[in-house]
C-alpha cells in the first residue's frame, strides 16, 4: 500500500482539515484510502473514520516499537494510506518526521498561507532542507497551502516553490472548515463532522492526481508484516478463547482499532454500553477504554451497569480500565461544576475534573508485582492525557512505578480484587492485551 504523511509546519495550521480534504479528493478520483494518525491521538482518527468510513490506524513508535508500528501500517487496506502528522513536522521526541522516516513515506507539508506567498515557499524549502541538519531521513516532497485564497494568492505560492517541491493544492479560508474544540482536543468526528459541502469545496482545491503521484510504497518489506496480520485475522474467525466484554459508547470511545483486532484474535469480544444501562455480558473479563465519563457522569451514576460490574469485580472477575475506565471504576467523580457522582466504587479513589490538563506525555511504567497487563519487573510504554486528578485512599495499592510520566503521585495502576485501573493508555503491540487475555484463564 502506497502512503503519504500530511505534516504541518506547526500545530494549528489545519492538518486535520487538510487530511480530510486529501482523503475526500483521492476517493473522488477512485482511490481506496486508508487513514492513519501519527502519535497516540484518538480524536483526529475519529474524524478520519467519519469521512472515509473505516478505522484510522494510530502509528506511534513509542507505544508500538518500530516493527510494531510497521505491523500497524500493514493492517491497513487500500490503495493509498494518508497519515496525519502531529504538532509540527520536527516537534517532539517521537516526531512526525521520525514516523515518516521509519515508515519510509514522503511528507506533504501543510503551510499556513494566511499572510504570505513567497514566504510560504521559503518556509517549505527550509523544512525540506532542515531534515539533513536533524539527521532524519524525512522526504518533504510537496506542499499544500492552508487558508490560501485562489487566483493570484495561490498562483504566487505555486510559482515561488522550487521544482523539487510541487504545489499540491490549497485549503480555502472558511468558517465552515473549523472543527469545534473542548478539553482533550477537537470534538469527535461523529459529534461535529464537517458538512459534505464544505469538505467537497476543500477537496476541490487538492490536486489529487499529483498528490497520488507523490505517494509511494514503503522501502521496508511489507510482506513480512502482512503475513503476521493475515494470520491474526484468521485466528479471529474461529477463536474459542475467552470472552472480553468491551464498553463502547460516548463515555468509552478512546480505543485503538488494533486493540479490538487483537482482542478478537485472542478470543471473543462482546460490546456493551454503561451509559445506556446495558446488562454486563457473560464474559471472562472486562475492558473499559478511555473517553469522556465526565460528560455522562449522571448517566453512569444512575446506570445499573456499574453496580453489576462492582459485584462481579468483587467476585474476582478481571477488569481493566484505562483513563476514563479508571474514573468509572473509582468511588466518585466530581465535575468542573462541582457536582459529585457515585461511580462503581471498585477502586479506592475519588476523581475530580480540573480546568487544565493534569498530564500529557508518553509514559513508561514498571510493574512492581504481577498484574493484569504485565509481569513483575516488566515495563510497559503508554500515553497519558487527562484533565482529572485522582485522590487515592491511604491504603490504596498500586501495580506500577512510573519511570516516565506523571501517573498518580509517581505511581500507577490502582488495583483491587482482580481489577486494574490506569491513567495510561497502552497499545496492543506492547503485549499488555495478550497478557490481560492470558490472565482470564488463570
- C-alpha cell at position 154: 495561490
Both ends of the chain: CA-CA distance in Å?
Answer: 40
Q: Are strands 107-112 and 419-422 parallel, antiparallel or unpaired?
A: unpaired
**253 annotated active-site:** no
Residue with cell 485475522: 233
- From the list 23, 81, 253, 323, the catalytic residue is 323
As a whole number of angstroms, the distance between CA 145 and CA 124 comes to 10
Of 338, 245, 244, residue with least CA distance to 297: 338
Task: Give 272's Cβ-side CA count (13 Å radius).
Answer: 23
Give the cell for residue 5: 504523511
Rounded Cα distance between 98 and 91, Å, is: 10
Residue 417 Ramachandran class (φ > 0 left, ψ -120 to 50 alpha, else beta): left
- Helix, strand, or coil (residue 279): coil
Q: Find the helix or strand (DSSP H, E) in which 34 lies.
A: strand 33-38
Closest CA to 405 of 431, 386, 433: 386
Full strand arrangement of the beta sheet holding 349-353: 340-342, 332-334, 349-353, 388-392
Q: Alpha-carbon torsion 230, 232, 236, 237, what sign?
A: positive
Cα 383 to chain center, whole Å? Answer: 10
296 neighbors 251 (Cβ within 8 angstroms):
yes
Residues 146/14, Cβ–Cβ less than 8 Å: yes
Catalytic residue positions, numbered: 323
Amino acid at each position: 500500500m502506497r502512503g503519504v504523511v500530511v505534516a504541518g509546519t506547526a500545530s494549528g495550521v489545519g492538518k486535520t482539515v487538510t487530511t480530510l480534504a486529501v482523503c475526500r479528493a483521492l476517493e473522488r478520483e477512485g482511490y481506496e484510502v486508508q487513514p492513519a494518525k501519527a502519535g497516540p491521538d484518538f480524536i483526529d482518527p475519529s474524524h478520519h473514520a467519519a469521512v472515509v468510513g473505516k478505522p484510522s490506524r494510530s502509528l506511534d513508535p513509542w507505544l508500538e516499537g518500530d516493527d510494531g508500528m510497521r505491523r500497524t501500517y500493514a493492517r491497513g487496506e487500500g490503495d493509498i494510506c494518508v497519515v496525519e502528522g502531529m504538532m509540527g513536522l520536527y516537534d517532539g521526541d517521537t516526531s512526525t518526521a521520525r514516523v515518516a522516516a521509519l515508515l519510509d513515506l514522503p511528507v506533504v507539508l501543510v503551510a499556513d498561507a494566511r499572510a504570505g506567498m513567497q514566504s510560504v515557499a521559503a518556509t517549505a524549502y527550509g523544512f525540506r532542507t532542515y531534515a539533513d541538519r536533524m539527521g532524519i531521513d524525512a522526504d518533504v516532497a510537496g506542499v499544500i497551502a492552508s487558508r490560501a485564497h485562489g487566483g493570484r494568492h495561490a498562483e504566487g505560492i505555486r510559482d515561488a516553490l522550487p521544482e523539487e517541491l510541487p504545489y499540491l493544492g490549497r485549503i480555502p479560508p472558511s468558517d465552515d472548515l473549523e472543527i469545534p474544540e473542548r478539553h482533550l482536543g477537537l470534538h469527535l468526528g461523529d459529534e461535529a463532522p464537517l458538512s459534505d459541502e464544505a469538505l467537497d469545496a476543500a477537496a476541490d482545491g487538492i490536486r489529487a492526481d499529483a498528490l497520488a503521484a507523490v505517494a509511494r510504497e514503503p522501502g521496508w518489506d511489507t510482506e513480512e508484516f502482512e503475513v503476521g496480520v493475515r494470520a491474526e485475522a484468521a485466528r479471529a474467525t474461529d477463536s474459542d478463547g475467552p470472552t472480553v466484554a468491551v464498553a463502547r459508547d460516548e463515555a468509552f470511545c478512546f480505543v485503538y482499532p488494533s486493540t479490538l483486532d487483537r482482542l478478537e484474535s485472542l478470543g471473543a469480544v462482546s460490546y456493551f454500553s454503561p451509559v445506556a444501562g446495558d446488562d454486563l455480558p457473560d464474559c471472562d473479563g472486562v475492558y473499559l477504554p478511555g473517553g469522556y465519563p465526565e460528560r455522562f457522569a449522571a448517566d453512569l451514576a444512575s446506570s445499573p451497569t456499574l453496580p453489576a460490574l462492582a459485584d462481579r469485580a468483587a467476585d474476582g472477575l478481571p477488569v481493566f480500565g484505562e483513563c476514563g475506565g479508571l474514573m468509572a471504576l473509582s468511588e466518585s467523580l466530581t465535575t468542573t461544576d462541582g457536582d459529585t457522582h457515585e461511580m462503581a466504587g471498585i477502586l479506592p479513589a475519588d476523581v475530580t475534573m480540573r480546568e487544565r490538563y493534569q498530564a500529557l506525555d508518553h509514559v513508561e511504567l514498571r510493574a512492581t508485582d504481577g498484574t493484569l497487563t504485565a509481569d513483575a519487573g516488566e515495563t510497559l510504554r503508554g500515553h497519558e492525557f487527562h484533565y482529572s486528578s485522582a485522590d487515592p485512599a491511604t491504603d490504596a495499592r498500586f501495580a506500577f512505578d512510573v519511570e516516565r510520566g506523571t501517573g498518580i503521585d509517581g505511581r500507577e495502576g490502582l488495583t483491587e480484587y482482580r481489577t486494574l485501573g490506569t491513567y495510561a493508555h497502552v497499545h496492543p503491540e506492547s503485549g499488555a492485551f495478550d497478557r490481560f487475555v492470558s490472565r482470564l484463564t488463570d
